[in-house]
Chain A
Amino acid sequence: MAEPENLVLQPRNVQFDWSSVPLHWVPGEPLTTHAINTLHLVLPEGERWFVHVFKQTLPLIADDKVREDVLGFIGQEAVHAEAHQGAADHLTAQGIDLGPFVAQIEWIFRSLLGDRELTGAARHQWLLERLSVIAAVEHFTAVLGQWVLDARALDAAGADPTMLDLLRWHGAEEVEHRSVAFDLYMHLDGRYLRRVRTMLVVAPVLGWLFVRSTRWLLRNDPTRPPRASWRAYFRAARRGLLPRPGQLLPATWRYLPRRYHPSQEGSTSQAVAYLASSPAAAAAS
């Protein structure tokens, strides 16, 4: 059957109870745990920044469908930010002081990628450039969202069900809204050069942030786990606990052709089916 199309995007008022989630929520796998915990360190600020940038695009939109999608997208991203903030606070409560790391992340999104007090054409171009960055990031969030929906190895490894539900609810909404940032970029600018150059910046920077935060978390974990190593990563990836390089690199190339559209990535029906059975989404008012 055809995939559901023309979805109306709506934020879901999810709630998570972190109280029983252990520090190493993939039992015995500190590297996998902390590699994925990167999301809790980066996303609260990152997704608030998405919202900040997208709100500025609203007056420029001249297509009712794009505007409706953007409004739904903003609300979903805002709820994602708060949900990951809850997971981050739980990490803090378990003895990892995230302050110094999060201070840098805040600096990246608020200063480095902030509005920069620009005016006129420069302000407009910087807005479009950042929108193009978000479209590239959203390509990866859709790829990773689909990956986590499929990642049976995490269930098999006994990953904590509350954390898995956070990741899969979030991943499913990323798959659900995967076209919004791209469609908005194509509506407001659409130039191929800008789209390609932002991807060429985004892909290595995302990789670097994951490596950096995984290393830092392992070093600051009070249980003193082994330090991060590429060998440990490849072992986890082979078991399916983390995405393989053979999944991430081709995903990067897929964004580059002119005929790319996010609807070619991921499965809307799988995402919608997960959202219909997610405990957090089911409890949402």
Chain B
Amino acid sequence: MEKKQRIGVYICHCGGNISDYVDVSQIKDIVKGLDGVVVAKNVMFACADSNQKEMVNDIVDQKLDGIVVASCSPKLHLHTFRNVAIRAGLNPYNYTQVNIREQCSWAHSDTPSEASEKAAGLILAGINRVSHSEALENIEVSSTRAAVVIGAGVSGMRAAIGLSQMGNQVYLIEKEYKPGGHIARWGEMFMDGKTGDEIISALLTKVKSDKNITLFTNAGIGKVSGSLGNFDVEVRISDEILNLKVGAILVTTGYDHYQPAIGEYGYGELSNVITLPEFRELLNNCGDTLNYQNKKVNSIAFIYCVGMRQTKGENKYCSRVCCTTAIHSSLLVHNKFKSVLVYHLYRDIRTYGKQEVLYEQSSKNGDIYLKFDEKIPPKVSNSKHRLLIQVKDELTRKQDLELETDLVVLVTGLVPGKDTAELAGKLKIPVGNDKFFNEIHPKLRPVETVINGVFIGGSCQGPKNITESVQSAMAATVKINALTKNPTIQLEPVIARVNFDTCVWCGKCAEVCEYDAVHPLEMYGKTVASVNEAVCKGCGICAPVCPNDAIDIAQYSNAEIEGMIDGFSEKVELKESAESEDEQSAVTGAEMKDQPQLWLRISASLQKESKTIPALVKELDVPANVLTYHLMTMNKYSLVEADGMDDSDEYYYYRLKNIQHDQN
């Protein structure tokens, strides 16, 4: 491939953030003389709209075929300059960002000459990279307007209804005979007082009457193949096998209750020790008296965090719903059987958010709370006809206390559903250390998995209450609909590419691929590796294992990477900065300091309305570069902010940020 011959390089001062340490003008002079570089400029703020406009003009006037911006981290402005390229008609992948602020001036502010040297190397590497860069177009894949939802609990059913409402065909798969999961058996719930059965019945009625939703019960998932937009999902119902073609998959398989080991707080050994779900069943089925095994229950002790938050054990996480559930149960007991005494033996109470009112109510009811340390758990033993609990109470100077109770309820947490690992294998989505399904990013991409088109929602991701489960399931439905609503899906082009001439299909690339994106393909009478564009993440693991060098990654081709290494290892001679201070920049600096009060005038002027830089230049009668410098400095210190572009999309308006500042 031809090297580019018309490259533009912009080296940013960042208002002194870079230029105070890195000798930007000297580097510019070195770059200017390079082969293929036709524009090399120092700019006060590369991101300022005036400079963006100048870049657009340069690209058009000078017919630039590649640009390098040496300024800050691409995390800040990659898309800013990609958009500059697009506005100027240049393919955005022919632009390279070089980070000389975070990686040079800020990191090496004690040694400016070395910072300059490193910056020069990185800029030369960037120029070499862009000279080999390729124009790339987004990848398009077709998509089926249908989705499979696995698990018909409250999340799955709500998501199925949501997907259907947005116009998707939905196949809802439930492994049990009866849909609804654990919730259907739970009884009365906080906050609306509805029972689980009522919630589930309402959803089920809707699901059944919705002609876009097909519910399969007693059904399991078989083989899953295909990729984003075109998955083939095998559904097994007893002996029958159905093949579904869908655009996306949503996993809402939920959780299981932790089952205590025999002997854990006397569970399975002492007859009056039961788990929270067992207690709920007792509570739902009891009449006017609370009896357990034909004996009246006058007192109950809840022991919290059973099987959870184990610093040494397997389940390190907090199940977050059990505190609320246990306390809510104690309120139900109190409302129905006033005289029953309730003890709570806990490690920490986490009735977060609105659920705090439950805790408040319970303590007002006179429930007794005893806090124990994980290392010294309470001891449960038999005492005549009741149970004796011994506990070291953290809140009472660690006194050894004891109490007698008729019933001990172990507040067990949530663990991953038992089929989680198997399903994770079929869908090739990862599980976390807690063995729940893992999202890509817990905050920013909370319902997406590493496999494009496979989403997770509800408590199969980790313990959640119903509200949170439905929230995440609904988020996933919107994500799915965004993919399936158009016949095609646009994907980033940074993926692996195979050179069919040199590929001999040794299979090594397929072995290392974590996403199962590489498969053999018959072509021109031989077998070659083929990359599924919808699956490949561009991670690059396949490229170095190829013995024939037949795979490269778009934007990271051998020519680009080698060019970068050459550029960075090139010896750059920089003169001592003291003598080589660029005259023009010295003048500029003096000019800037000439008007120390300018920012006060700018803020006074912006008090009434937002203005563009040319408007401010005209109004305040100062040179444009001086005004830009001050405005950008104000921007940096969050005194002003951009406020949309003007009608001709040329200049940004700036407005005062709502910050009180001292006028002295």
- The answer to whether A and B assemble together is no
Q: Which residues of B contact A (CB under 8 A)?
A: none
